[in-house]
Structure 1
């Protein structure tokens, strides 16, 4: 028993007087971490949705033809006009992305049907924005798990984890690509989620790490030595199952993703005992079969027969080498172009981060970082053996590259941020310059570069609604209706240069485009001589128009189809290319012709006697690596009213430009006259009274000027006034009153 003189010990966290203290602190800390993670995730979702809705440029046709077009067909049926490419007819693609976006289309369709009446343009905008919004949420998930993966390596709330998040958010490639409906974008998100759940046995990350936890408080099991690596607990097997499910799904979407897991699985097998190797392989087999079974059922539902798209994908692209049909690249493509495009200004820091991760003596060495670095070199190395290469094939590596880039970036710029002395100013300026470069690249690629393909489809939708309203009044078609009148469009462009039904939306817009079917089933000799429809057109455009258009160049319609009184039920042109024979079917002359400006002189010569005329034009890009896609996107039409409206708009714009140019000239002369007058000691007001235009309005209009005076009168005015600053000597005469305005212009 304690006496009165004995000191009472201070209450501690474990004291019986406050037994709930440590539990309360732990619970409070877990709640704070949970709400922080939730806020970060919501902010990322909001940011990526804004990113997706502002994205107005064209990147790859697969963004639309490998996801949105099949999804549109699932919802609206085979007669919806969706363009189904050859990969789907030969069952090379997994149906998981189409079903994913089809669910979004179905939800929007239901909302439109039960919502108060919306305008057709609003309905079209909803159908275009819906898949973008879903992909934005997926992209935000990828950003979030990239941050969480960095937190696992470097510690929750560490500077390196926050630097990784900043790298991801400010990455120009992420701005440009992450919110596109490409299967590679979904693959990248699934890959980084699988990395986050993967039981990285044998590493605690950087020194000084205080522990790693999931957002829900579940701890990562860690191992300090090789002797303990083989003793995986139940928690590690649970993590492994989660990781393998996401990895299997990524592998079903893109079979090349399996290379990542072959590499990581090899590391895991090398560090496991014999019994654990058997169990690891069994877990991989069970998880893979589960995902593959679900995929097979979906493919059976979509294709109507049992099939395995991953196997057919490998057969067509490797055994038959059909990927070469879409281009060849140098062996060093991923090193010289792939990584620079993915990383932009972060590339030097990434290279240093790879070096630190691969060299055991590096200051930031860890097993997780070394394995990620090896994967980042192994996948491009294997893919370099394939002739056809694209940057998006190594896109799933970008989260790992950002994780490896964070420590070198902190080493370079932490002193400039934390040090208030003037010694950090040069590094701050370099950091600011890098941020501005990233922001400039991101804005240019997402808002400007190759913006014409999406803009021209917006114009076609607007024109369609104008024509429908002129005939049907307020009863404008929505996508569920069977149209009685239509508008036809022909795209004289390289194949898949624009989106299709997912952006045309309205089924009464009937369109055709040049196809590019690969030489499936041909021998080597016939493959070498094979030319698709687009190649045939660009080889000799005039010959193609003469022989592959209905009526040739002699029988071109004089009026658009929607103005013809006999055009009540148009014949649906070949839009989806359901069979290969459609490539040989002649095209009908459309109401609207769409092409790149480099083809303009050729079409002027071929169609000079037709009724086609320019009715719209939009800027596309300042440069392009494909000579066929250079210049503006031009639209010609048969409608004389549309042509006249476009001419009037051009005249108005030209007049406004002349007015602004003339106003700048007048302002410049006034400023020069004022400056000369001050140097000569004369008041500007006196000087301006001698200026012939002084009595007129200070802002002149060139159109008004052209109606009042002749060209020779203008020249005479500029020659005759007695300029006060004239270098020639003028004989002094008796002063006279200033001439009136009528005298000046007579």
Structure 2
């Protein structure tokens, strides 16, 4: 018999593939689809993370496999290249949702809180390594031996997640310590025959995969830790105060779900002898937040790994509470949770930051059909903050597509500015220095920029005509505008200048050809 809960989650996550049509973070494209496209088709941009070997090829290789199958079947349309990786991730997220339901003893509240979580809906079908990491965490938690403490099946997805992203190990430190302490096996036997053995098997496979694609022996997990932890390269992309996860990050990710989570937290602390499993989970959440808070660079998506743990605690609390509450109160609370999650999920999935994705459809058409007056193909330049749009994976045509780079300060140079910062410091000066104006054919055929940039480069844009505009966001900054505009280079305008009126004799003597002025 087909499991109805599994079908429900499959339908929900597949629906999110088509509903979620907005930009979130660059990694969704530049660290997965773009890399996979290069593997499968031979062209695509590799960011500095890949040239320095700090990323694992496991996830992009899965996507590249899909691309190869499409190519062999001659079905590698740009639509399927964008769509199918998201479908793959959505199906994996749906399976992890089902495992969450099983872990929660088939509680209706567990299915409800997971299905209505705005942040999981927003990210569950995105091709982010963090999304895969969260799915593997849920699957591992569902196999964690809370009662017998002898089964080590959970270590397989844990090991895979850790070798892909070493920070995945952080929440598992308290959980694995608990497992080792409570197991009836001798510690040395458990560590050597289970933990070490599984770690070695998964490690050898992942290192072999990475070394194959990098072309030499490489431990991407070690390089990841060396760059992001020891050297703190991540802080180049922004820093937050140490308490950000506690007062902004987690409350935002949980949304209205923060309320039942806080009730669950208080109840767990007050009755810790009764809720021993929840206490371990609460310690796991606290430990993870403390370690994450030590890193200057912080992002909402980093909390995806502990989101299911928070939702489990909330679901367990709501399940126990609803047994005593009246039916009307239960339905009212469920409705409030649903509506208050649907509002941010709908707005962020359909409206906020959609322009940089919508514009790619136009660029696809231009790349495949455009020829300028010199019979040359399209040449794009994206004058936006670094990695504001997807790249060639969303065009599937090996066109020239220039963008502003933002590599970190590897040399520790004083007053370092990346290319994007240099551009925004003096847009017109950067253009004069970096973009040739002669011959005219050397100019980019199309410029893609936010509307807020137009007044600063109006002289340069006099060579272009605004062709199409896309809404992007209601919230603007000095670099990110409300609309994305595609400008197309105008053809030289030939203007015929009438000759002056001459006397008849002069007209016969002087018969100049009409001059043509190129504007």
Is 2:67 aligned against 1:105? yes
State how far apart, in whole Å, the 1-side matches of 2:185 and 2:203 are.
27
How much has 1:200 moved relative to structure 2?
Answer: 1.6
**Aligned match for 2:472, one of 609, 613, 620:** 620
Per the alignment, residue 171 of structure 1 pairs with 117
Is 2:444 aligned against 1:444? no
Q: Which secondary structure does the structure 2 equivalent of 1:489 belong to?
A: strand
State how far apart, in whole Å, the 2-side matches of 1:267 and 1:358 are.
18
State how far apart, in whole Å, the 1-side matches of 2:68 and 2:389 are.
24
Check conservation: 2:159, 2:199, Cα contact below 8 A.
Answer: yes
Is 2:497 aligned against 1:594? no
How much has 1:46 moved relative to structure 2?
Answer: 2.3
Q: 1:531 to 1:485 in 2, by over 3 A?
A: same
How much has 1:286 moved relative to structure 2?
Answer: 0.4
Is 2:7 aligned against 1:50? no
Per the alignment, residue 91 of structure 1 pairs with 53
CA RMSD in angstroms, aligned pairs only:
2.3
Cα displacement string for residues 270-292 of structure 1 (whole angstroms, at most 9, x for unaligned residues): 33467244324431000011111
How much has 1:262 moved relative to structure 2?
Answer: 1.5
How much has 1:180 moved relative to structure 2?
Answer: 0.5
Q: Which secondary structure does the structure 2 equivalent of 1:607 belong to?
A: helix
Superposed counterparts of 1:282-361, under 5 Å = 282-360=193-271
Per the alignment, residue 380 of structure 2 pairs with 489
Q: Which secondary structure does the structure 1 equivalent of 2:285 belong to?
A: helix
Q: How many residue pairs align between the two structures?
A: 491
How much has 1:54 moved relative to structure 2?
Answer: 2.4
Structure 2 segments unaligned to the other structure (5+ residues)? 493-519
Superposed counterparts of 1:408-487, under 5 Å = 408-410=317-319, 418=327, 424=329, 428-429=331-332, 431-467=334-370, 486-487=377-378
Superposed counterparts of 1:201-600, under 5 Å = 201=147, 221=148, 236=150, 239-240=151-152, 242-272=153-183, 275-360=186-271, 365-410=274-319, 418=327, 424=329, 428-429=331-332, 431-467=334-370, 486-507=377-398, 509-520=399-410, 522-523=411-412, 526=413, 528-551=414-437, 555=438, 557=440, 589-600=443-454
Is 2:457 aligned against 1:607? no
How much has 1:417 moved relative to structure 2?
Answer: 6.3
Question: RCO higher in 1 or 2 (8 Å CA, sep ≥ 6)?
Answer: 2
Check conservation: 2:428, 2:460, Cα contact below 8 A.
Answer: no
Q: 1:262 to 1:412 in 2, by over 3 A?
A: closer
Per the alignment, residue 513 of structure 2 pairs with none
Cα displacement string for residues 173-201 of structure 1 (whole angstroms, at most 9, x for unaligned residues): 01111111010010111111111112124
State how far apart, in whole Å, the 1-side matches of 2:246 and 2:471 are.
32
Per the alignment, residue 670 of structure 1 pairs with none
Per the alignment, residue 194 of structure 1 pairs with 140
State how far apart, in whole Å, the 2-side matches of 1:256 and 1:463 are.
41
How much has 1:430 moved relative to structure 2?
Answer: 5.1
How much has 1:374 moved relative to structure 2?
Answer: 0.9
Larger radius of gyration: 1
Per the alignment, residue 128 of structure 1 pairs with 82
How much has 1:318 moved relative to structure 2?
Answer: 2.2
Superposed counterparts of 1:626-665, under 5 Å = 627-639=478-490
How much has 1:414 moved relative to structure 2?
Answer: 5.8
Q: Which secondary structure does the structure 1 equivalent of 2:104 belong to?
A: helix
State how far apart, in whole Å, the 1-side matches of 2:467 and 2:322 are.
53
State how far apart, in whole Å, the 2-side matches of 1:170 and 1:103 are.
32
Check conservation: 1:515, 1:534, Cα contact below 8 A.
Answer: yes
Q: Which secondary structure does the structure 2 equivalent of 1:384 belong to?
A: helix
State how far apart, in whole Å, the 1-side matches of 2:451 and 2:24 are.
19
How much has 1:428 moved relative to structure 2?
Answer: 4.6
Cα displacement string for residues 313-354 of structure 1 (whole angstroms, at most 9, x for unaligned residues): 111112222111111101111111211221111101101112
Per the alignment, residue 505 of structure 2 pairs with none
State how far apart, in whole Å, the 2-side matches of 1:428 and 1:279 are.
46
Is 2:3 aligned against 1:41? no
Q: Which secondary structure does the structure 1 equivalent of 2:380 belong to?
A: strand
Check conservation: 2:272, 2:279, Cα contact below 8 A.
Answer: no
Check conservation: 1:53, 1:132, Cα contact below 8 A.
Answer: no
State how far apart, in whole Å, the 2-side matches of 1:276 and 1:60 are.
42
State how far apart, in whole Å, the 2-side matches of 1:440 and 1:487 are.
40
**Aligned match for 2:27, one of 31, 45, 62:** 62
How much has 1:416 moved relative to structure 2?
Answer: 6.6
What's the TM-score, normalizing by structure 2? 0.89
State how far apart, in whole Å, the 2-side matches of 1:497 and 1:532 are.
15
Per the alignment, residue 150 of structure 1 pairs with 104
Q: Which secondary structure does the structure 2 equivalent of 1:449 belong to?
A: coil
How much has 1:441 moved relative to structure 2?
Answer: 1.3
How much has 1:65 moved relative to structure 2?
Answer: 1.0
Q: 1:590 to 1:147 in 2, by over 3 A?
A: same
How much has 1:97 moved relative to structure 2?
Answer: 0.6
Q: Which secondary structure does the structure 1 equivalent of 2:154 belong to?
A: helix
**Aligned match for 1:162, one of 96, 101, 108:** 108
State how far apart, in whole Å, the 2-side matches of 1:170 and 1:417 are.
22
Check conservation: 1:350, 1:402, Cα contact below 8 A.
Answer: yes
Check conservation: 2:367, 2:395, Cα contact below 8 A.
Answer: no
Structure 1 segments unaligned to the other structure (5+ residues)? 1-34, 114-121, 202-220, 222-231, 472-483, 562-587, 642-746
How much has 1:247 moved relative to structure 2?
Answer: 0.5
Cα displacement string for residues 73-132 of structure 1 (whole angstroms, at most 9, x for unaligned residues): 11112xx2x11000100000111011111111112222226xxxxxxxx92211111111
State how far apart, in whole Å, the 1-side matches of 2:145 and 2:331 are.
38
Q: 1:257 to 1:315 in 2, by over 3 A?
A: same
What's the TM-score, normalizing by structure 1? 0.63
